[in-house]
Amino acid sequence: MDIKIISNLVDYGVVGVLGVMAFLTLFFYIERLLFLKSVDISKYNQKEALEIDLTKNITIISTFAANAPYIGLLGTVLGIIITFYTMGISGEIDLKNIMSSLALALKATAMGLFVAIPAILFYNHLVRKIEVLLSTWDMEKKGAN
């Protein structure tokens, strides 16, 4: 298999996975925001049932936030390995090609951070909204008794 094909597979594969993760993170964040805005907590008799409904899909966001940097780093490491392998095969040390290959390899790390940082913000925002709704439910139930 040609090294250029492997390089493209690594590059587009990692960036593609991170792109899907970014899309799903945004999708689940918006879905949860809409749900949290429309939920009627007074219809819940058990706090556990409310908590299950409120926290649905936020684990996906936190998982993406935690793993996106590692996937980006994996892409960078694979890109560097391919760069060094190509240098070893050709026997030439062309600084221009090395630097451009390493810059492209670092793109994966940047993309991983681009996915992770907003995902962490989204997750923390949702967790706070959920805490407020659960506390509100507790206050309403105590006030009813």
How do residues 34-49 score in pLDDT, each as one tens digit?
999 999 999 999 999 9
Q: Which domain holds residue 84?
A: 3-144
Q: Percent of the chain scored above 90 by pLDDT?
A: 63
Taking only the tens place, the pLDDT of each residue in 116-143 is 999 999 999 999 999 999 999 999 888 7
Q: Looking at residue 26, what is its pLDDT? A: 98
In this predicted model, which residue has the larger pLDDT, 131 or 144?
131
Taking all residues of the chain, what is their mean pLDDT, rounded to a whole number? 90
> Is the predicted pLDDT of residue 22 greater than 80, yes or no?
yes
Domains identified in the chain, total number: 1
Q: Looking at residue 90, what is its pLDDT? A: 73
Taking only the tens place, the pLDDT of each residue in 55-108 is 999 999 999 999 999 999 999 998 888 888 888 877 777 777 778 778 888 889
Q: Own/partner pairs for 58-61, CB < 8 Å, 24+ apart?
A: 58/28, 58/32, 58/123, 58/126, 58/127, 58/130, 60/24, 60/25, 60/28, 61/25, 61/28, 61/29, 61/32, 61/119, 61/122, 61/123, 61/126
Q: Looking at residue 1, what is its pLDDT? A: 57
